[in-house]
Amino acid sequence: METLVKLPVELRGSLIVSCQAADTSPFREPASMARFAQAAVEGGARGIRADGPEDIRAIRKAVGVPIVGIYKVRQDDGKILITPSLEGARALVEAGADSVALDCTARGQRYGALDRLRQIRKCLGVPVLADIATVDEAVQATAAGADAVLSTLRGYTSETSHVLGFEPSFIAELVGAVNVPVIAEGHIRTPEQIRAALDAGAFAIIIGSAITRPEMITQMFVSALEDWHCLNDAKRTFIGIDLGGTNTKFGLVSSQGELLYQSVMSTPWKEGRTALLEHLGQCVSTCRAEAEDRGLELDAIGLATAGWVDSTSGEVVYATENLPGWTGANPGAYLRDAFGLPVAVENDANALAVAEKRFGAAKNATDFVCITLGTGVGGGCYIGGRLNRGRHFFANALGHIPVVPEGAPCTCGKSGCLESYANASALMRYAAKGNFTSCEEIIAAAHSGDQTAQSAIQMLARHLAIGCASIVNLLDPEMVILAGGLVQDNSLLLKAFGEELARRVTVWPERHLQVQASAFGYSAGVLGAAAVASLAVAEGCSAHGGSSPSGKVAVPASQRSIAKTSY
């Protein structure tokens, strides 16, 4: 292919470093850019991207690798445009650039980018690279003769402003849409993202700010410090709400995990979405009144709910018939609008995992599983120190792992799920001969020696272990933490579960797996909801210059891009 002859072969599968500095940077002079380029090449970079003839001339004297030249010029709309003229491109080539890149987005095309691309290619005889933001723009630039397309401006145009991070899937789309090399650039700052770009078919990788902007690199670490200080600010107070299928617990929690106030109301689970939202509003109003009486200022609301949650929007993606009509509800938006506070919404079992990581037994653990046993069965886990949500927020559906082929129907619509064999209804069913009126009565009777009650708990533990064995074999966690109403004051269940699990998990002695009950007891859900809210506020502190967020939950510091101003 002609393009592969024109683009240096040594750039295939390699790193190109973008050496640029903002006008206000102490590095904003050609000699500094040349030193950055020299350091990048010594570190293994095989190409450089640079802005303007002066920088390129200095860089060319310092290194011998290919240089992608760009020329940033502010236009009459007040915004920068990349290489807006043939004369500018000529100056780049004369200064030592081996190829020229220009803005071929919809905006760039309004300034004549495609005609200019053809002119540069014809008059200067160098490869011309198209900086684009969408697949359509890439196709148009390729049709005009672009020798490669770069994802540089993805996320920086009005049409793509919603894109906040690197998208390997977009690189794959580009590769499938054009017949020229695709160079991945923009929002890339980790080795994992580089590998994902190459797996998606990228010809080469360009990284700028994550390498050459010390002030932005510093800001990333400072943001982490701000997150920590905000997270541990003893003055902060949060509302935590645990929406269960039977009861809703709610209260006030300090940033240190101290339960300042707690109450409970029956959940109107049969009455539909509107009733549930109004019910949550009542819980918040009660907490707010209590906070006012105590002279406490509220920082955020946390909601732990049954069902799977899109934590970025506060929407319930899917809920079983334990809460009819709850699928598609957005309690996050409802509570934000009603009370003007930041709201963080999370699946209840995920929230428990966050609480255990923030305040509890898993504070120093990186891999652990939390299981909630009550009206339903929920799961939450941390993998490698991070909460696992899954691509579609459906991860950790422990309660819906099949344990009995074609078994009892489940509220999810399937049959044989663990939830049907390890929830409160199951325990009542196992102890039916004893004529007990509640699970609490069964648990108390078992600890008093009642054989029917003990057999019922053993049966529940056996099914729970069958479901959990696959999770332990798959994830190899450090600990499994049980919580929820069926675990409260139930040491027999914990012991029986540990014994049953040991029979079903391979290399059990070598795992040193800790099996324990949550120390949070009855308040686990409230603390979990508050823990999720505290994390949201902490992440918002560094994202908003130290102030509490007022709208949607901020993007976590670990996921923020530091390459938002370099192209």
Query: Does the pLDDT of residue 550 top 70, yes or no?
Result: no
**pLDDT 10s digits, 135-191:** 999 999 999 999 999 999 999 999 999 998 999 999 999 999 999 999 999 999 899
What is the C-alpha to C-alpha distance for residues 232 and 462, in angstroms, rounded to an integer? 40
Residue 529's identity, in one-letter code, is A
Residue 138, phi-psi category: left (phi > 0), alpha (psi -120 to 50), beta (remainder): alpha
Give the per-residue pLDDT at 565. 39
The neighbour count for residue 500, using CB atoms within 10 Å, is 20
Structure tokens at 443: 């648990």
pLDDT band at 541 (very low <50, low <70, confident <90, very high): low
* Residue 130 neighbours by CB under 8 Å, 6+ apart: 101, 102, 104, 113, 117, 137, 138, 141, 142, 146, 148, 149, 150
Instruction: Find, among 248, 207, 281, the residue nearest to 567 by Cα.
Output: 207
The neighbour count for residue 437, using CB atoms within 10 Å, is 9
Query: Does the pLDDT of residue 551 top 50, yes or no?
Result: no
What is the C-alpha to C-alpha distance for residues 315 and 328, in angstroms, rounded to an integer? 6
Query: Does the pLDDT of residue 74 top 90, yes or no?
Result: yes
Mean pLDDT of the region 46-62:
97
Alpha helices in 213-330 (DSSP H): 214-231, 273-294
* Residue 249 neighbours by CB under 8 Å, 6+ apart: 241, 242, 262, 263, 264, 522, 523, 525, 526
Side-chain half-sphere exposure of 361, counting CA atoms within 13 A = 21
Positive/negative CA dihedral, 58, 60, 65, 66? positive
Structure tokens at 460: 């529940």
What is the C-alpha to C-alpha distance for residues 522 and 527, in angstroms, rounded to an integer? 10
- b (16+ CB within 10 A) / e for 344-368: bbbbbbbbbbbbbbbbbbbeebebb
CB 225 within 8 A of CB 499: no
Give me the percent of the chain exceeding a pLDDT of 70: 94
Q: What is the CA radius of gyration of the chain?
A: 29
Structure tokens at 510: 């070598």
* Domains of the chain as residue ranges with CATH: 2-212 (3.20.20.70), 220-360+524-561 (3.30.420.40), 362-518 (3.30.420.40)
Give the per-residue pLDDT at 222. 85
Q: How far is CA 503 from CA 369, 465, 525, in A?
A: 19, 9, 30
Give the per-residue pLDDT at 540. 66
DSSP assignment of 23-52 equals TTSTT-SHHHHHHHHHHHHHTT--EEEEES
pLDDT band at 555 (very low <50, low <70, confident <90, very high): very low
Collapsed DSSP state (helix, strand, coil) of residue 529? helix
In this structure, are strands 368-373 and 67-70 parallel, antiparallel, or unpaired?
unpaired
